Structure 1
Amino acid sequence: MEEVSAAPDGAQAAIESIEPRRSVLFRADALRTKELAANIDQVAIVFAPQPAFNLHFVWRALVAARAAQIARLVVLNKTDLPDAGGARAALDELAALGERTIAVSAKAEPENARSQLAPEFAHRATLLVGQSGMGKSTILNLLVPDANARTREYSVKLNQGRQTTTASRWFAFGADGAIVDSPGFQAFGLAHLSIHQLAACLPEFAPHLGRCRFNDCRHLEEPDCAVRAAVEAGAISPARYAFYRQLAAEVAR
């Protein structure tokens, strides 16, 4: 989503300049870096109990957003499902780490979901991300009721026979907000980040960074590492530290 300066030109407008970007969210693997969206104010990461969600996807998206200095909102959808306990526990853990969280059931309790979500999306440009099947489209259509119709119109103009799911789409929301709906994807690579950026983007690491013996400590095998000591003391979850080690191995390749 680019911000431009334009001048009226009859029934159209001529772009005069493209403004500097306020923010850019990336994901990357070993082969390429992909821009997901620019000039957004927050990332809303949607997950649900079914289909089986990948918690590391959520964690990775949070790291990417923190690295880009973009606000984050974690949305647990489909809370009406009987097996939502594990997903709720994961959401509670993220809330304890300081992340903004919301639990909704966009399909079963639409009015309640709308009343919770709308204030969080108002006056902001929000990127919706999530694995396929998590209910992003349901949430989008709850907040932007004509989103399906507008997407179908767009597909017809592109001479496509069905709704496109391969490109991000921008929708106005309220007087001055916007929602950018990204295609569902399964992997969220962070190869564009350094190992020190990864550590800085895990909030539970923050109290311990700068307290290691070595200034350039990677928090892996180095002696007198404050982060590893925090793991052993129970201040950092072993699961989250294992996640960090996995990311560190990926960016080192």
Structure 2
Amino acid sequence: MADRAGLSAGVVVASFGRHCVVETPDGERRICHPRGKKTQAVVGDRVQWQQSHDEGTIEKVEQRRNLFYRQDEIRTKSFAANLDQVLILIAAEPEFSEHQLARALIAAEAERITPIIALNKSDLVEPFERAWGRLLPYQQMGYGVLPLSLRLSGEVDRRHLLGQLEGKTTLVLGPSGAGKSTLINLLVPGALAQTGEISRALNSGKHTTTSTTWYWVDAQRTTALIDSPGFQEFGLHHIEPAQLAGLMRDLRPHLGQCRFYNCTHRHEPGCAVLAAVAHADAPHPITANRYRIYGDLYEELSQPPRY
């Protein structure tokens, strides 16, 4: 529906470089291009766009509730905007990286987006038990952790997953090999074909696996999944070192209890975080491994930029 200025409302449902696909409230989809370099839209953005022939131009990106992104020393990679939650999909095999998991959780906390951890391949009994044990500290921190077997998934698994996703916009995030495509196809039959159609429309078939795409799970268009490219690195250079402890749920309860107000929780005497690491049976414990992740990230974020 267009306003007096000829602008129509829409949501960005796919992004391929400088091109986007915008969906109108009645479900029509149109290829759009940004107006100038500053109008860079990402999947999930609410936009105002103007029709020109059989395509369109994005004139305005509405204010975002949040933006989930990663940033290394050189570039920023935006995944999606206006999210309700992030589903971080990892697998019992190959063994997941806890550093990578921690980075994704920190990025979600920074944007106040609810994260859910899903552990795939519960049919691999021994690897799954080991992986589940590694996730116990995250359950104790209050994160939801779902066991999945997408390879053997039946109606019960599907209903359980849908219960977590219903009525929400969820970004599915995870490293290659975790089962992301299987999960998307389980909940949205024909999703890969849909991606191919969008890609062909944009004449960019080679980018199919490196794009971010929005799928409706239900005919009423109330539950959405956003599929993102697999990643091997997850930079957090948009976060200040002093912010880091407050974005880690197991460290957060101890903040403000240290002897020094500007404690880095690395070596200072009277540090409440270090005391929690040393006393695993105390309230709100911090495991040695989680503290090691904090130290590594603090060191990384404290490095001067290399141009």
Shorter-chain TM-score tier = over 0.9
* 3-state SS in 2 of match to 1:165: helix
Q: Aligned ranges for residues 61-76 of structure 1 at < 5 Å?
A: 61-76=104-119
1:209 to 255, 264, 289: 255
Note if 1:129 corresponds to 2:173. yes
Name the structure 1 match of 2:298. 248
User: Given the two structures, how large is their TM-score scaled by the length of structure 2?
Assistant: 0.77
- Over 3 Å counting, the alpha-carbon distance change for 1:16 and 1:188 in structure 2 is closer
Rounded to whole Å, the distance in 2 between the matches of 1:18 and 1:103 is 37
Rounded to whole Å, the distance in 1 between the matches of 2:191 and 2:147 is 22
* 3-state SS in 1 of match to 2:172: strand
Q: CA deviation at 1:5?
A: 4.0
Name the structure 1 match of 2:7. none
Rounded to whole Å, the distance in 2 between the matches of 1:231 and 1:161 is 50
Deviating more after overlay: 15-24 vs 229-238:
15-24
Name the structure 1 match of 2:233. 187
Name the structure 1 match of 2:149. 105
Consecutive unaligned residues of structure 2, counting only runs of 5 or more, are 1-43
* Residues 245 and 251, structure 2, Cα contact 8 Å, conserved in 1: yes
Name which one, 1 or 2, has greater alpha-carbon Rg. Answer: 2
Rounded to whole Å, the distance in 1 between the matches of 2:52 and 2:160 is 41
What percentage of residue pairs aligned between the two structures are identical? 41
Name the structure 2 match of 1:80. 123
User: 1:129 is aligned with what amino acid?
Assistant: L
Q: CA deviation at 1:6?
A: 5.5
* Residues 87 and 118, structure 2, Cα contact 8 Å, conserved in 1: yes
Name the structure 1 match of 2:20. none
* Residues 26 and 34, structure 1, Cα contact 8 Å, conserved in 2: yes
Note if 1:50 corresponds to 2:77. no
User: 1:151 is aligned with what amino acid?
Assistant: T
Rounded to whole Å, the distance in 2 between the matches of 1:92 and 1:204 is 12
Rounded to whole Å, the distance in 2 between the matches of 1:131 and 1:154 is 23
* 3-state SS in 1 of match to 2:236: coil
- The two structures, once aligned, show a CA RMSD in angstroms of 2.1
Name the structure 1 match of 2:268. 222
Note if 1:154 corresponds to 2:204. no
Note if 1:140 corresponds to 2:184. yes
Rounded to whole Å, the distance in 1 between the matches of 2:157 and 2:51 is 40
Structure number with higher relative contact order (C-alpha < 8 Å, ≥ 6 residues apart): 1
* Residues 27 and 188, structure 1, Cα contact 8 Å, conserved in 2: yes
User: 1:251 is aligned with what amino acid?
Assistant: L
Name the structure 2 match of 1:173. 217
User: 2:193 is aligned with what amino acid?
Assistant: A
Rounded to whole Å, the distance in 2 between the matches of 1:130 and 1:230 is 30
Name the structure 2 match of 1:239. 289
* 3-state SS in 1 of match to 2:225: strand
Consecutive unaligned residues of structure 1, counting only runs of 5 or more, are none
Q: CA deviation at 1:102?
A: 0.8
Rounded to whole Å, the distance in 2 between the matches of 1:9 and 1:153 is 21
Q: CA deviation at 1:162?
A: 5.7
Rounded to whole Å, the distance in 1 between the matches of 2:251 and 2:239 is 16
* Residues 104 and 112, structure 1, Cα contact 8 Å, conserved in 2: no
Q: CA deviation at 1:204?
A: 1.3
Note if 1:25 corresponds to 2:68. yes
- Over 3 Å counting, the alpha-carbon distance change for 1:252 and 1:16 in structure 2 is closer
- Over 3 Å counting, the alpha-carbon distance change for 1:189 and 1:10 in structure 2 is closer
User: Given the two structures, how large is their TM-score scaled by the length of structure 1?
Assistant: 0.92
- Deviation per CA, 1:188-241: give whole Å up to 9, x if none: 111211122210011111221001111111101122111111111122111100
User: 1:100 is aligned with what amino acid?
Assistant: G
Deviating more after overlay: 61-70 vs 76-85:
76-85
Rounded to whole Å, the distance in 2 between the matches of 1:243 and 1:16 is 42
Rounded to whole Å, the distance in 1 between the matches of 2:146 and 2:199 is 32
